[in-house]
A = this chain, B = another copy of it.
Amino acid sequence: MNKLNPHLSVDCVIFGVDNQRLRVLLVDRDTKGQPAETYDHNRLKLPGGLVFNNELLSDAATRVLEELSGMKKTTLYQFDVLDSLNRMGNEADRVWLEETTGLSIERVVSIAYYGIVESSVINSCNQNSHWVEMNQTHNLPFDHEDIIQGALTAIRQRFKRDGLIFGYLPEKFTINQLQNLISVFYDEEPDSRNFRKKIKKLDFIVALNEKQKNVAHKPAQLYRFDPDKFAQFSNNRIIF
């Protein structure tokens, strides 16, 4: 029972923002100790792998992500099922999978997850992890480039609506941090006066008795996200 199922895999698309750019986590295909400098993109892939027969898919995604990147406890959201018959269209990809798993691979259906991480996490991953700027993810194996595009589409539909956006921000954030994050994911640049008015009406964004410190400009008010109040909020509205 506790065997890898050669028909089921998971893939994870992890987004992070660094230097105002949207980035995606890729991992090295071979984890056998080349120095990081020799990595090239042909060796990079999405973190993913086969599922154990007695394992939930979401658990498999979390496990595989940690095994490959060192990232722990990441919240993941299922967004797609990849079942094309020529996912293994590139023979080299199939052979690689057979060699690394020791299994005979015919068809693999993959369940795709996305997640978002805070910028602090980006720097605490292991050396196999590479944060590649969105649209710079070329030459990936299998259908990984399609999966990334699908994840971005899915996230654009759910990021605001599901409150997922607050998972990326630090506990205490400024209104501008929130607004910048939206800009990165949606290529929008909302008017800051109108944006602030909207935010003030949302009772799940709570002002703290605290301001920024040591900044070379007027220090900004800090806020926190209240998930309970958010849950009560009349749902399925597009918020920002």
Contacts and interface: CB of A to CB of B under 8 A. Distances in A.
Contacts of A54: 85, 107
A240 to B, nearest CB: 12
Nearest to A156: B236
Contact of A84 (B5, B56, B109, B157): B56
Interface in A195-230: none
Contacts of A57: 81, 83, 109
**Identical chains in the assembly:** 2
A62 to B, nearest CB: 13
Interface residues of A, number: 21
A85 B56 contact: yes
A53 interface: yes
A193 interface: no
A83 B109 CA distance: 13
B238 A81 contact: no
A103 B8 CA distance: 18
A107 B5 contact: yes
A174 interface: no
Interface of A: 1, 5, 7-8, 53-54, 56-57, 78, 81, 83-85, 106-107, 109, 111, 157, 236-238
Given A5-B107, A56-B83, A83-B111, 11 more contacts: A1-B106, A5-B7, A8-B8, A53-B107, A54-B107, A56-B84, A57-B81, A57-B83, A236-B238, A237-B238, A238-B238
